[in-house]
Amino acid sequence: MHKFETTIPISQAALMDGTLTEDKVKTELEHDLMNNVYYSIVFGKSSINMKGISTLSGRSKLSGTQASSLTTGTMLRQKVIEAKYKSEEQQEGIKTFYGFYRLLLPYQFSHLLLELYNEPQYVTIKDSLQRDLLTITKVFKGLDHPILYKFDHKVMFVPILSDVSFRKFSAPEGDYIRASILAGIVHFRPKEVVEITISAN
């Protein structure tokens, strides 16, 4: 478990005259805090020695086979199929629930999601991944390669305490309010996470 914090200055004058409310400050803090937590769960956070889904030690890697790069949506779809097979091999011996996979897709591949796939009818690659392969896609800037994993509590545990704590404090330069939450990621079978190590060109 890791502690995440975010702090913003508050104006006592604004609080007093009603132009700023404490609830609004807390809402803004919660939004920033959860963005920080979600980003860290995906990418990790080296400053607190936290591994993310895309940086897990021991994750599986799927390299290029028929094609050396991802240049079409059909190629992307095929790689997702191969990655699912590889992930499922690592889940043998455990009873996982019937659920969706998640594909973390680097931004440079995002245009492939809009291409059309014509079996059995014309749909976008993104819709085909979700409908036919039970795979939900999220696009991220900063990722080098696509990452496929199954969000299953039997192989992955992402503890997040739902209660955000707030604390006011004063400093020489003014008053502040700080929000904090505990979060982390524990992956019991990191090989179930598959990195598709293939380039965009």
Q: Are 181 and 103 in the same domain?
A: no
| Other CB atoms within 10 A of residue 4 CB | 21
| Position 57 in a domain | no
Domain boundaries, position 173? 2-50+157-185
**Residues 102 and 11 occupy one common structural domain:** no
21 vs 14: CA distance, rounded Å: 8
CATH number of the domain where residue 125 is located: 3.30.2320.10
Domain count for the chain, please give it: 2
Distance CA 194, CA 83 (A): 6
pLDDT score recorded for residue 52: 87
Q: Residue 71 pLDDT more than 90?
A: no
CA 74 remoteness from chain centre: 24
Q: Which has more pLDDT, 176 or 199? A: 176
Shared-domain flag, residues 34 and 116: no
> What value does the mean pLDDT of the chain take?
83
Kindly report the pTM of this predicted structure.
0.80
144-170: per-residue pLDDT in tens? Answer: 999 999 877 666 666 666 578 888 888
